[in-house]
Amino acid sequence: MSKRLPTHGRLIDRSKRIGFTFNGKSLAGHPGDTLASALLANDQMMVGRSFKYHRPRGVVASGPEEPNALVNMGQGREFEPNQRATTTELFDGLISRSQNHWPSLEFDIGGINKHLSRFLPAGFYYKMFMYPRAFWKHVYEPFIRQSAGLGQAPRDRDADTYEHFNTFTDVLVIGGGVAGLQAAKAAAQGGARVLLMEQTAHWGGRAPVDGGTVDGAPVERYIDQTLTELKAMDNVTLRLRCMGAGVYDHGYVLGYERLGDHLPGAEGPRHRLWRVRAKQIITTTGAIERPLSFAGNDVPGVMLASAMRDYVVNHGVAAGQRIVIATNNDDAYLTAICLKEAGLDVLRILDARDSGGGPLMNAARALGIRIDCGRAIAKVGGGRRVKKVQICAQDGLGGALEEIACDAVAMSGGWSPVVHLWSHCGGKLTWDADQAHFRPDPDRPPTGADGAGFVRAAGAANGYMSLEDVLADATKTGISAAKAAGFKPKRGTTPKAEPTLQAPLEPVWLMPRDAHAGLRSKSWLDFQNDVKVSDVQLAAREGFESVEHTKRYTTLGMATDQGKLSNINGLAILSDALGQPIPATGTTTFRPPYTPISMGAIAGEARGEVFQPVRRTPMHDWNAANGADWEPVGQWRRPYAYVRSGETVHDAVMREVTNTRSNLGLLDASTLGKIIVKGPDAGKFLDMLYTNMMSTLKPGRCRYGLMCSENGFLIDDGVVARIDDDTFLCHTTTGGAEHIHAHMEEWLQTEWWDWQVYVANVTEQYAQIAVVGPNARQVLEKLGGMDVSRESLPFMAWADGRIGGFDCRVYRISFSGELSFEIAVPASQGLAFWTALHEAGQEFGVMPYGTECLHILRAEKGFIMIGDETDGTVIPQDLGLNWAISKKKDDYLGKRAQARSHMTDPTRWKLVGLQTEDGSVLPDGAYAIAAGRNANGQRNTQGRVTSTYHSPTLGRGIAMGLVLNGPDRMGETLEFPGTDGTLYKARIVDPVFYDKDGEKQNV
Amino acid sequence: MSEPISALNHARFDGIADIAEIGLQGMITLRGDLAARAVKSAATKATGAAMPGANAISTKDDSGLCWMSPDELLVLCPYAAVPEVLAQLQTALAGSHALAVNVSDARAVFRVSGPAAREVLAKLCPVDLSPAEFEPGTIRRTRLAQVPAAFWMVDNETFQLVCFRSVAQYVFDLLCVAAQPNSEVGVF
Amino acid sequence: MLTLQCPYCGVQADETELSAGGEAHLTRHGPGSTEDEFHDYLFTRENPRGVHFERWRHTYGCGKWFHAARDTQTLEVFGTYKAQCTEPPKELRDAITAKRPGWTWREFS
């Protein structure tokens, strides 16, 4: 059984007890525990079930590489699935539940999958669920959906807040073990700004567990002293609980800082995503121990040897009482010695090497531990916890020589440098045959903006496994990073660590070497995704030679741990099956993040009210208070209609149309783009931008214009007012202001840079109000201050003046067909002017109107709308707008394109009005069908609806559409099948439905 | 005319930094060749401020000049003085190719102040705001979360930030989130 | 995520402050151009693995368009230069030659 020891536990505070629950059971731990150590202290060896076969699983590691111990944490708005118990700091009141089982951890129906395992081989997704086809939707998919997935998705909105932080540094050091501390110090002493991140809550990494001396004192003293020095340096920033998550182009790094996970309920953000720009990056991310592949290596109680040592030294927790150790290297002897000194029974060390280990082996033997060389584990016995192991010769098929009753197994297959961050941005690896691992190839680093390497690995992450070598490498690397960042560091001093002598490791990829099929199908490589040695071998037999293909076929390394424990073992098995050396197989691609980071951290502040910008006009609050039913237009919020109590939105729209046509309507048109274009070449410039001739416009007058892209397609429209000889004001659509402004700047800067034109976007300087309807002039005359008569301010003229005491610019333009004045006042006066118009307009029947009313008013008049009649493939000629295309100009943007054969094709669909026979409203976007079917068996089409409304003015449905030869087919009836099965019939008519002669606007 | 109203009418928030919308600020966009004598002389005479170098702001009393690009200045003056300053600029630049236009109402202006002010902005902008890199006198146009903004330091703990008026509420809300209590980073 | 130095204001801008504008040094073809010329102007683009010349705009900063020469494979930036030119400056081309002997891009090398 696993339990708390009376001794050890350097990180825990035994004077305090804190309570937590696991699957509803109340348990206790100490401050300084992780959830994993606290569970083990309570003899909770089984912590979850595996993904595919639902096998019982226990804690196997002590850090972020843990594949098994994932739990659902918290509840309600704090609920979060897939939290690793090994990296979760224990806090009072922590609530955790195991995952992937039903109905309970102990009794799980899905456990039957393990008896079906021969039907769930590698690639079973591809093999099993193919036929019969009809089964997919009704049988296979529901089954997979129910059984797949680890934790549960949260139901409630996350209660926490998150943020980003942008920072810049000369040298970023990722990993706060001794290598990181030493490298940071060396770089900082060289003058560089240094940021040092450590993912755990403690500095020093594994060194305090592994022991050793530096400059004659225990390594802990070196750590304390170095920290003290670093904290005293102004140019050093130290962050705990901050993981280097990913390295990207040009020295961009994401750091994932967990501020609140261990302090639930505390004020402030829970996670902070550091967005770092570093000139140089040092990865001191250490190494991860590899499991050994033997049958039953996934039974709870089988643990990495280093993790077992960690739990004893750091948390005073024993993973078992009677322990067998299997190894292929000397490091496991440190675990043996540690366990023995903690008073635990180390029953046997099985060293796969015929000649055994070095001095550490002798030290273990001197403590009375029995060591068998050339031996291996054939099989671990036990279901929910280890009960026994069968011992065999490493060089063999796995015939059992002996059986030992035990309650825990420690395994060590050697160490793999954590090369993830080195590799994220293209750093290449080299195979180190002596240590049987991939390590960074210093000659092929990831390169930055200057073409030089910007990541260096140091310490164990660089393949140096002894304290002595780690410190030397870290010093050297810290200095070289500072140099590469532009500093001139002096030669640093390397603290001297006591050298350790280790016998060489012997690669062991399968235990025993020629394990028979029965053992191989129980030898796990990837614990989280349930991938076994036999699966990878099967994949190889089936022809999956590329490691990337094998990965996807078997799902090896595709779980949330991304194969931190399994990758090297898996590709070694694949290499063996393919009969090629490991470097020839290579690794799969390492991709960020290093371990999963929260979606909240990625979103940062962008949630809730500030998820995205919402643009408000000066009248926004008034609109909100007066029933606005909002329509998003770009990032703007515009009232779709002003809904009164007792009305539907449709009622409100009908009322607004009728009132504007018969009395007086006010539109908040502030969102329309307004761009000043000024300079001696302004006219020439606008002639290029618009299809019309703008240079001939007289000051004081307005002209409607069309803008096309170089492709010839219509992109924007609006009214241009000539302010004076060299100044124009161009109105754009609501969504168009920013990109039309950018479009102008682009042509001025990159093509016609010798033209003398300046532009300025003044959209938001003004609140703009359309005063529309037969009573429009009366309300303005009542407010007074300016002559707005037909004679002084005729249609398509503008003038500056004062109305009701407000400085304004009045444009006599109309998008409704009514008598209309668009009036611009400074934005800071907008609400006051809007209010004044409403007050003065009471006697004239004033009502505000929204965008849907605007749409109907313009559609009744046959005016096109960018985005309705246009969709990026429509040219002005399609819309019957030839009158707005100058024939006199040699050139304008889009002119050449409009001469291409496809654009002049007479069969292009053209704009017409559409009128249903029964007065109903055509469905938006409906297609007019033609005789016959196309190659895909679909009905041929001959047109489509672009705008469609119920017109209260005419008392029936009106529509516009693009139709083949439309203008030549007036009076013909077309058929439009609706998605509701109805066949709509509509007649082709003139698109101008109302006041064809413009008598109403020109009064 | 009635009393002009700024976008948020002096909204305030106190967190790890103080956030305040400071009301209407006179602002004129001046486009022209900043190397031309006429432009330089018009700008400096209208404000009393010295001509700023690239990415710099120079101030004189309650007026100032912000360098926005090689052919653009943002002229600062009291809100009420805009018509007069604008007229002065237009007169001085009558013979030159230049554009001066009032943009005071198109903007909102915030003050972000306190010891953690640098951190609040660093949470939202991809800019090195360490004291060694950013100090009073520097102006930066950049991205603030999802909108454009420009800011400069009034003193070592105070930023003045300009954004478009329509997104004033968004920017204020952003600054409040970034300045939420107990969110000090402790880097600068 | 790239950084590029804006040649107008000198700011080392973050990619999120910039907008990409496609291939550099296109010659505009208007009315009078042949179908092929116009087609190439609109649609034919280089897609090199290696040295490339592009247009970028410092959108969230000074607003200026500029050119960048970079390696699409390694993301090495050889240099940025102003928009008001029709071909890469000689010094920059020489600097690229020093780093990537034998490079070619359209008619340039």
Contact of A3 with A317, CB cutoff 8 Å: yes
Q: Which residues pair with A986 in a beta bridge?
A: A916, A974
Share in percent of chain A as helix, strand, coil (round to 5)? 25, 30, 45
The ipTM assigned to this model is: 0.98
Q: List pLDDT tens digits, range A564-613.
A: 999 999 999 999 999 999 999 999 899 999 999 999 999 999 999 999 99
Residues of B (85-144) whose Cβ lies below 8 Å from A? 97-99, 101-107, 119, 122-130, 133
Q: Both A624 and A536 in a single domain?
A: no
Contact residues for A771 (Cβ-Cβ < 8 A; gap 6+): A664, A666, A779, A780, A820, A821, A822, A823, A837
Q: Do A165 and B170 touch (CB under 8 A)?
A: no
The list of chain A residues with pLDDT below 70 reads: 101-103, 107-133, 136-137, 139-150
Helix ranges (H only) for A821-943 are 827-841, 851-860, 901-904
Q: Are residues A545 and A580 in the same domain?
A: yes
| Residue A605, amino acid | E
Best of B21, B29, B123 to substitute, by most chain A Cβ atoms within 10 angstroms, is B123
A92-105 per-residue burial string, b: 16 or more CB within 10 A, e: under 16: eebbbbbbbbeeeb
- Please name the helix (run of DSSP H) or strand (run of DSSP E) that holds residue A927, with its range, or none: strand A927-933
Q: Which CATH number fits domain B26-105: 3.40.50.11540, 3.30.70.1520, 1.20.1560.10, 3.40.50.12780?
A: 3.30.70.1520
Cis peptide before A512 (omega within 30 of 0): yes
CA distances A333 to A350, A410, A433, Å, are 11, 10, 22
DSSP secondary structure letter of residue A235: T
Alpha helices for A675-758 (secondary structure H): 682-689, 737-750
pLDDT of residue A108: 67
Are residues A717 and A794 located together in one domain of the fold? no
Distances (CA, A) of A538 to A517, A531, A617: 11, 11, 65
Give percent of chain B with pLDDT exceeding 90.
Answer: 97
Q: Where are the domains of chain C?
A: 3-99
3-state secondary structure A768-790: EEEEECCCHHHHHHHHCCCCCCC
Range of the domain at A258: 162-285+416-484
Taking the C-alpha atoms of residue A506 and residue B4, their distance in angstroms, rounded to an integer, is: 81
* Burial classification of residue A969, based on how many CB atoms lie within 10 Å of its CB (0-12 exposed, 13-18 middle, 19 or more buried): middle
Map tokens 């295309």 to a residue.
A885
C-alpha closest to that of A328 among A582, A570, A508, A509: A508
Burial degree of B155 (CB within 10 A; 0-12, 13-18, 19+): exposed
Q: Which of A287, A63, A307 has the alpha carbon at shortest distance from A179?
A: A287
Note the pLDDT tens digit of each residue in B2-43: 889 999 999 999 999 999 999 999 999 999 999 999 999 999
pTM for this prediction: 0.94
Q: Is the pLDDT of residue B163 over 80?
A: yes
pLDDT score at A152: 77
Cβ contact, residue pair A449, C30, below 8 Å: no
C interface with A, Cβ–Cβ < 8 A, is 1-3, 14, 21, 28-33, 35, 38, 41-42, 55, 57, 59, 63-65, 71, 74-77, 83-84, 99
Q: What pLDDT shows up at residue A53?
A: 82
**A467 lies in the same domain as A571:** no
The number of beta carbons lying within 10 Å of the beta carbon of residue A409 is 30
Contacts 24+ apart (CB under 8 A), A543-550: A545/A578, A547/A571, A547/A574, A547/A585, A547/A586, A547/A587, A547/A588, A548/A588, A548/A589, A550/A574
Determine, yes or no, domain membership for A330: no
Please tell me the distance in Å from B92's CA to the nearest CA on chain A.
Answer: 16
Between the alpha carbon of residue A712 and those of residues A706, A807, A865, A873, A967, the distances in Å are 11, 40, 17, 9, 21
CB contact under 8 A, C64 and B126: no
Taking the C-alpha atoms of residue A694 and residue A685, their distance in angstroms, rounded to an integer, is 9
List Cβ neighbours of A36 (8 Å cut-off, separation of 6 or more): A47, A59, A62, A66, A69, A85, A86, A88, A311
Instruction: Count each helix (H run) and each strand (E run) in chain C, helices first.
Output: 2, 6
How far apart CA A531 and CA A548 sit, in angstroms, is: 15
Q: How far C102 CA sits from the closest chain B CA (Å)?
A: 36
pLDDT score recorded for residue A115:
62
* B166 part of contact set with chain A, CB < 8 Å: yes
Choose one of A585, A605, A640: the last residue of a domain: A585
Q: For the domain that residue A441 is a member of, what is the CATH number? A: 3.50.50.60
Does residue A517 lie within any of the structural domains?
A: yes
CB proximity C7 to B under 8 Å = no
Cβ–Cβ under 8 Å, residues A51 and A330? no
- Residue corresponding to tokens 């970023």: A172
Report whether A947 contacts A854 (CB < 8 A). Answer: no
Q: Identify the residue among B170, B180, B188 best suited for mutation to test binding to A, counting A beta carbons within 10 A and taking the highest.
A: B170
Query: d(Cα A859, Cα A993) in Å, to the nearest integer?
Result: 8
Do B55 and C8 count as a contact with CB atoms less than 8 A apart?
A: no
Chains touching A by CB (3 or more pairs below 8 Å): B, C
- Check the CA dihedral A76-A77-A82-A85 and report its sign: negative
C-beta atoms of C61 and B142 within 8 A: yes
Q: Is position A18 within any domain?
A: no
The pLDDT of residue A102? 61
Q: Is residue A936 part of a domain?
A: no
Which CATH number goes with the domain that contains A555?
1.10.10.1100
Asked if A272's CB is within 8 angstroms of B167's CB, the reply is no
Residue contact B183–A277, C-beta within 8 A: no
Number of folded domains that form chain A:
4
What residue type is A93 in one-letter code? G
**Is residue A624 situated within a structural domain?**
yes
Is A125 at the interface with chain C, CB within 8 A?
A: no
CB-CB neighbors (< 8 A) of B27 in chain A: none
Name the token pair of A942.
């001959």
Preferred mutation among A162, A730, A764 to probe B, highest tally of B CBs within 10 A: A764
Taking residues C91-104, what's their average pLDDT?
A: 97
In a domain, A202, yes or no: yes
Domain assignment present for A938: no
Give the DSSP per-residue string, A956-987: EEEEEEEEETGGGGTT-EEEEE-TTS-EEEEE
Q: How close does chain C come to A253, measured CA to CA in Å?
A: 9
Residues A710 and A771 in one domain: no
Long-range contacts of C100-109 (CB under 8 A, 24+ apart): C100/C50, C100/C51, C100/C71, C103/C50, C103/C51, C104/C51, C105/C46, C105/C48, C105/C51, C105/C52, C105/C53, C106/C25, C106/C46, C108/C53
Domain C3-99 has CATH 3.30.390.50: no
**Contact flag C38-A753 (C-beta cutoff 8 Å):** no
Q: Which CATH number fits domain B12-18+106-178: 3.30.1360.120, 3.20.20.120, 3.40.50.150, 3.40.50.10490?
A: 3.30.1360.120
Residue B46 at interface with chain A, using a CB cutoff of 8 Å: no
DSSP string, B122-146: HTTSSS--STTT--TTBEEEEEETT
Evaluate whether residue A828 is within a structural domain. yes
Residue A944 dihedral angles phi and psi, to the nearest 5° = -150, 155
- Any chain C CB within 8 A of the CB of B12? no
Chain A residues inside the 8 Å CB shell of B143: none
Domain residue ranges of chain B, discontinuous segments joined by +: 12-18+106-178, 26-105
Please give the share of chain B, as a percent, with pLDDT higher than 70.
99
Q: Chain A residues with CB inside 8 Å of C28's CB?
A: 710, 751
What sign results for the dihedral spanned by CA atoms A957, A958, A962, A965? positive
Q: A744 and A824 in one domain? A: no
